[in-house]
């Protein structure tokens, strides 16, 4: 029997519960965990030396598969380096399972190397943290490890999913003897059945009464994975019930003739009469975070009378618009389907049609959105070569059905202002849980590892160079495409109010540099192209997405002063829409 049989049983439990991917950062203290995973016949392993990058790589893999991904690292500061990815996974509700090796507790605060207080180290940024015993000889200890493993994996995947931490003290010896065999399959699995949430009939009827009592209804969708079923259902609701639906690029709704997709431009204008006309009586929100400040500011300034938030848990009251009146603990899809069916049936039974005010409200939103869309299109048609105009060309060139990862700061904002045609069916991802720039490239690498379709990352220069270790992995996926917007600094600080007017802008905010991605590409065996004008970009995009044997990096070089001047022109036009 192996040296640490409970560890083998724990690892085998992951496989029995459907987990298939494990990301490992090398270390000595974690050797028993690493070997248990590496020798398991059913698990896929990936070695990522940098723990911070490893965390985000696992995040991208879990996003793509929808299944928990395990992470293994050694003790000490290595554990802390997982924190950024853990926080992002927590707020984005992505299932990650952390298996961190640790020193036995008696060695804490004894000036022993790689020893820090790891129990509960991630605080409230994990769903729960477990600390295993350091000795496995007693039957109660083995039972505790078995029970904990079941509970941790079940919790990781339970709605809303998220990261769970198991801290594992390990004693020497870490390595098995040559004749020591690994035996899997001895552990006990405890199945957790899903919770099927249904609203009581009286509660449902009270919601229908609220629906009937309000004329101007608005649905706003935050960040969500791409879902054809949700798109179809929201289309039906908007068409049949005359309800405007707002979606940003991270909502994955896509730009069509029905949804409101240019809210950032639309809601920045000064026409208060129109803004008051757009105010909803009933606001229905679903999904995670919203991207644009203009949308959030508008709904705080013109709050609805009633606000339903659909989310399959009431654990936290999430109220970013400060107008919540009802938490609805259901998955959005079944709730909206039942709402459509019941309202349709009620209208059929009563012989009611859409009211004039409902139809007028939808038309007002759609007309204003069309005007905002024309403003953006006109601006981009006449714009010089900038980060924004380049982003538009990239988005138009994306392969249908491919995946797009958006870096934080300006890339995700430029992409949102451009929007994506719904007919492209592009799946959009972004680290908007905490909105940090630190792991965007690693996340895209992880995603590309778990799909055969093209995965494109649109990323800014500071974020790219900050996360270069994302490419420090063996066997980078050849379906990865990185589009780097390089304006030689943190361009957002020239755009936002406040920092742009400070004399210390360039020194303390902007991060000026003269770096390019050429050597990074060569170091990590990626094909590389650089362009600095419209014609060069058009030519490069003509073959950039063709399948290849290596990942590709397209560096788009722009002038930060031209970017700044062009965006100021847009903002002036935006306010005077």
153 and 285 in a common domain: no
Does the residue 183 lie in any domain?
no
Domains of the chain: total: 3
Instruction: Assign residue 452 the CATH number of its domain.
Output: 3.40.50.970
354 and 393 in a common domain: no
340 and 219 in a common domain: yes
Q: Which has the minimum average pLDDT: 37-46, 80-89, 505-514? A: 505-514
Does the residue 129 lie in any domain?
yes
Query: Max Cα separation, the chain?
Result: 81
**Mean pLDDT across the chain, nearest whole number?**
93
298 and 443 in a common domain: no
Q: What pLDDT sits at residue 354? A: 64
Note down the domain range covering 247: 201-370
469 and 404 in a common domain: yes
The pLDDT tens digits for 507-532 are: 777 788 999 999 999 999 999 999 99
138 and 9 in a common domain: yes
Is pLDDT at 185 greater than 80 in this prediction? yes
Q: What pLDDT sits at residue 3? A: 58
Query: How far from 255 is each of 95, 190, 260, 417, CA to CA, in Å?
Result: 30, 45, 8, 11
The pLDDT tens digits for 246-282 are: 999 999 999 998 999 999 999 999 899 999 999 999 9
Q: Tell me the mean pLDDT in the region 292-317.
A: 94
Q: Tell me the mean pLDDT in the region 66-94.
A: 97
The pLDDT tens digits for 98-150 are: 999 999 999 889 998 899 999 999 999 999 999 999 998 899 999 999 999 99
Phi-psi region of 191 (alpha: psi -120 to 50; beta: other; left: phi over 0): beta
Is pLDDT at 2 greater than 60 in this prediction? no
246 and 276 in a common domain: yes
Does the residue 181 lie in any domain?
no
Alpha-helical regions (H) of 383-490: 387-397, 410-418, 440-448, 461-466
Does the residue 111 lie in any domain?
yes
Could you tell me the end-to-end alpha-carbon distance of the chain, in angstroms, rounded to an integer?
74
22 and 50 in a common domain: yes
The partner residues of 530 in beta bridges, in order of sequence, read: 555
End-of-domain residue from the set 370, 402, 420: 370
415 and 546 in a common domain: yes
End-of-domain residue from the set 129, 153, 169: 169
154 and 10 in a common domain: yes
| Residue 2 neighbours by CB under 8 Å, 6+ apart | 8, 36, 176, 180, 181, 182, 183
266 and 148 in a common domain: no
End-of-domain residue from the set 169, 184, 218: 169
Does the residue 175 lie in any domain?
no
Q: Tell me the mean pLDDT in the region 455-459.
A: 98
Is pLDDT at 550 greater than 90 in this prediction? yes
| Chain centroid, CA 390 distance in Å | 23
Q: What pLDDT sits at residue 1? A: 40
* Whole-number Å distance between alpha carbons of 106 and 100: 17
Q: Tell me the mean pLDDT in the region 347-367.
A: 83
Helix, strand and coil percent figures for the chain, each rounded to 5: 45, 15, 40
564 and 511 in a common domain: yes
The pLDDT tens digits for 213-243 are: 999 999 999 999 999 999 999 999 999 999 9
């Amino acid at each position: 029997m192996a040296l640490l049989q409970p560890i083998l049983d724990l690892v085998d439990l992951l496989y029995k519960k459907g987990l298939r991917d494990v990301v490992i950062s090398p270390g000595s203290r974690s050797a028993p965990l690493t070997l248990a995973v590496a020798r398991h016949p059913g698990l896929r392993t990936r070695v990522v030396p940098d723990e911070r990058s490893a965390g985000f790589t696992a995040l991208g893999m879990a996003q793509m598969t929808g299944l928990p991904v395990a992470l293994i690292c050694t003790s000490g500061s290595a554990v802390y380096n997982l924190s950024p990815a853990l926080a992002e996974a927590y707020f984005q509700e992505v299932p990650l399972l952390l298996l961190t090796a640790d020193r036995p507790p008696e060695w804490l605060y004894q000036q022993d190397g790689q020893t820090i207080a790891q129990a509960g180290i991630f605080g409230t940024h994990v769903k729960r943290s477990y600390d295993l015993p350091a000795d496995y000889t007693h039957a109660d200890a083995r039972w505790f490890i078995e029970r904990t493993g079941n509970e941790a994996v079940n919790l990781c995947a339970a709605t809303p999913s998220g990261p769970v931490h198991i801290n594992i003290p390990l004693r020497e010896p870490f390595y098995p003897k040559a004749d020591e065999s690994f035996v899997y399959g001895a552990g006990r699995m405890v199945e957790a059945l899903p919770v099927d949430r249904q609203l009581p009939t009286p509660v449902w009827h009270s919601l229908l009464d609220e629906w009937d009592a309000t004329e101007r209804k608005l649905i706003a969708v935050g960040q969500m994975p791409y879902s054809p079923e949700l798109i179809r259902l929201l289309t039906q609701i908007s068409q049949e019930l005359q309800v405007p639906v707002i979606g940003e690029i991270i909502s994955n709704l896509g730009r069509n003739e029905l949804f409101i997709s240019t809210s950032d431009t639309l809601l920045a204008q000064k026409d208060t009469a129109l803004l008051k006309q757009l105010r909803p009586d009933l606001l229905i929100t679903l999904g995670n975070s919203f991207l644009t400040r203009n949308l959030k500011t508008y709904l705080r300034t013109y709050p609805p009378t009633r606000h339903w938030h659909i989310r399959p848990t009431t654990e936290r009251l999430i109220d970013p618009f400060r107008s919540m009146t009802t938490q609805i603990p259901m998955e959005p899809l079944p709730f909206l389907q039942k709402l459509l069916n019941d309202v349709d049936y009620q209208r059929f039974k009563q012989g009611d049609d859409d009211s004039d005010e409902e139809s007028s409200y939808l038309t007002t939103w759609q007309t204003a959105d069309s005007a905002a869309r024309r403003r953006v299109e006109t601006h981009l048609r006449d714009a010089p070569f900038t980060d924004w105009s380049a982003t538009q060309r990239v988005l138009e060139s994306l392969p249908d059905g491919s995946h797009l990862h958006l870096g934080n700061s300006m890339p995700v904002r430029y992409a949102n202002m451009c929007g994506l045609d719904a007919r492209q069916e592009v799946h959009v991802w972004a680290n908007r849980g905490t909105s940090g720039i630190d792991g965007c490239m690693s996340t895209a690498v992880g995603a590309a590892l778990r799909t055969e379709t093209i995965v494109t990352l649109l990323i800014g220069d500071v974020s790219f160079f900050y996360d270069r270790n994302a490419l420090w992995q063996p066997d980078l996926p050849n379906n990865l495409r990185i589009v780097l917007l390089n304006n030689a600094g943190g361009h957002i600080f020239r755009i936002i109010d406040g920092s742009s007017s400070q004399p210390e802008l360039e020194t303390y905010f902007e991060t000026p540099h003269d770096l390019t991605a050429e050597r990074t590409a060569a170091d990590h065996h990626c094909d590389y192209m650089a362009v600095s004008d419209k014609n060069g970009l058009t030519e490069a995009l003509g073959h950039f997405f063709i399948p290849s044997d290596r990942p590709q990096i397209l560096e788009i070089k722009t002038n930060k002063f031209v970017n700044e001047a062009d965006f100021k022109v847009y903002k002036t036009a935006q306010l005077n829409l």
